[in-house]
Amino acid sequence: MIELLMKPKHAERRPWEMFFVGLFWASISFLLVTFVFGNDSVLRDGNGLLLVIFTVICCLPFMYYIIKLEEGKDIEISDSGMLIKEHSKAIRALMWMFFGFVIAFSFWYLVLPDVAGENFNFQIKTFCAINSPSSYDYCVEKNGVPVGTGNAAGTGAVLGIFANNIYVLIFTILFSLVFGAGAMFILVWNASVIAAAIGIFAKGSLVNLPLGVLRYMIHGIPEIGAYFIGALAGGIISVAVIRKDLRGEGTWRILQDSLLMIIIAIMVLIVAALMEVYLTPLLF
């Protein structure tokens, strides 16, 4: 029944509607984890992962069908420029959905601060490991999770961020190859980590939510967009194998399209790394 909530063709025509779908799915997952599993003394220790898993379960049908739709375009359209234009419709829809996840997770993080430490326990630990490695224990305790070095700058920081992003991109592509919609786990996980970062930045105030979103979305939009491009590239090949479309003349067309999308994703990640190091610190 969930897959009927939004059909891929309709989402590509009106991608902004996926924002509300993302809000709905993420909110349902958060409330489910809070009021169902939050009372379980054992399962609540894994709330951070359960939050991601339930959101992914809601997303999988839509992700699978949109990848299937895009793979069909590879068979029907031979012009590379037209293909990229068509794929961009799917990317926009997925980005709106991702933005809905971020806003929903951030909102509930700030509205229910008493359970934020439990529901985002793994996300907060990830944030602290990245941003405060030298004071990790203090960071996690300060943000409600029981139990670094300064910000890097310059070329070394760009290379470090880019290397980490490439690492995530590779796993996104591999997840998509193994299971067409499998990359949603990595993408929803990133949405929840970004939401935790926004919640920490906002310091418990909804008034600071827009500023926090802007702080992390400046470089986050191209970065996550690159991951979705990679997920789509891997997913297209995965669906093509399942449908036995990797044969004859269509084989090279599908592989060429996927390779081109991966190259575009890498280029976008370079831009995102430069923005994170040089642009975002100028504004915040």
Structural domain includes residue 54:
yes
For 77-134, what is each residue's pLDDT tens digit? 766 667 777 778 888 888 999 999 999 999 999 998 888 888 898 898 888 877 776 6
Phi, psi of 42, rounded to the nearest 5 degrees: -95, -55
- Whether the Cβ atoms of residue 121 and residue 145 lie closer than 8 Å to each other: yes
Helices 209-242 + 249-274 axis angle, to 10: 160
pLDDT of 35 reads: 87
Structural domain includes residue 97:
yes
Structural domain includes residue 1:
no
Instruction: Please give the torsion angle defined by the CA atoms of residues 130, 132, 135 and 141, in that order, rounded to the nearest 10 degrees.
Output: -80
Structural domain includes residue 191:
yes
Question: In terms of C-beta density within 10 A (0-12 exposed, 13-18 middle, 19 or more buried), how is residue 146 classed?
Answer: exposed
**Over 50: is that where the pLDDT of 280 sits?**
yes
**Tally of domains within the chain:** 1
Structural domain includes residue 206:
yes
CA dist 219 and 162 (Å) reads 12
Q: Is 112 helix (H, G, I), strand (E, B) or coil?
A: coil
**Over 60: is that where the pLDDT of 3 sits?**
no
For 146-193, what is each residue's pLDDT tens digit? 654 444 444 566 787 888 889 889 988 888 887 756 678 888 998 999
Which is more confidently placed, 24 or 2? Answer: 24
Alpha carbon separation from 147 to 21, 74, 122, 140 (Å, rounded): 35, 50, 11, 7
For 214-261, what is each residue's pLDDT tens digit? 888 888 889 989 998 998 888 888 777 766 666 666 677 778 888 899
Tokens of 182: 């499998």
CA dist 268 and 49 (Å) reads 28
pLDDT averaged over the chain? Answer: 81
Alpha carbon separation from 77 to 3, 32, 250 (Å, rounded): 26, 42, 10
- Whether the Cβ atoms of residue 77 and residue 69 lie closer than 8 Å to each other: no
- Whether the Cβ atoms of residue 238 and residue 255 lie closer than 8 Å to each other: no
For 186-223, what is each residue's pLDDT tens digit? 889 989 999 999 998 888 788 889 998 988 888 888 99
Structural domain includes residue 247:
yes
CA dist 53 and 39 (Å) reads 18
**Over 60: is that where the pLDDT of 46 sits?**
yes
- Whether the Cβ atoms of residue 200 and residue 128 lie closer than 8 Å to each other: no
Structural domain includes residue 2:
no
CA dist 193 and 102 (Å) reads 9
Q: Which of 97, 112, 95 is nearest to 33 (CA)?
A: 112
pLDDT of 74 reads: 66
pLDDT of 8 reads: 61
Domain span at residue 151 reads 14-283
Question: pTM, whole model, 2 decimals?
Answer: 0.81
CA dist 237 and 245 (Å) reads 9
pLDDT of 150 reads: 41
DSSP 150: P
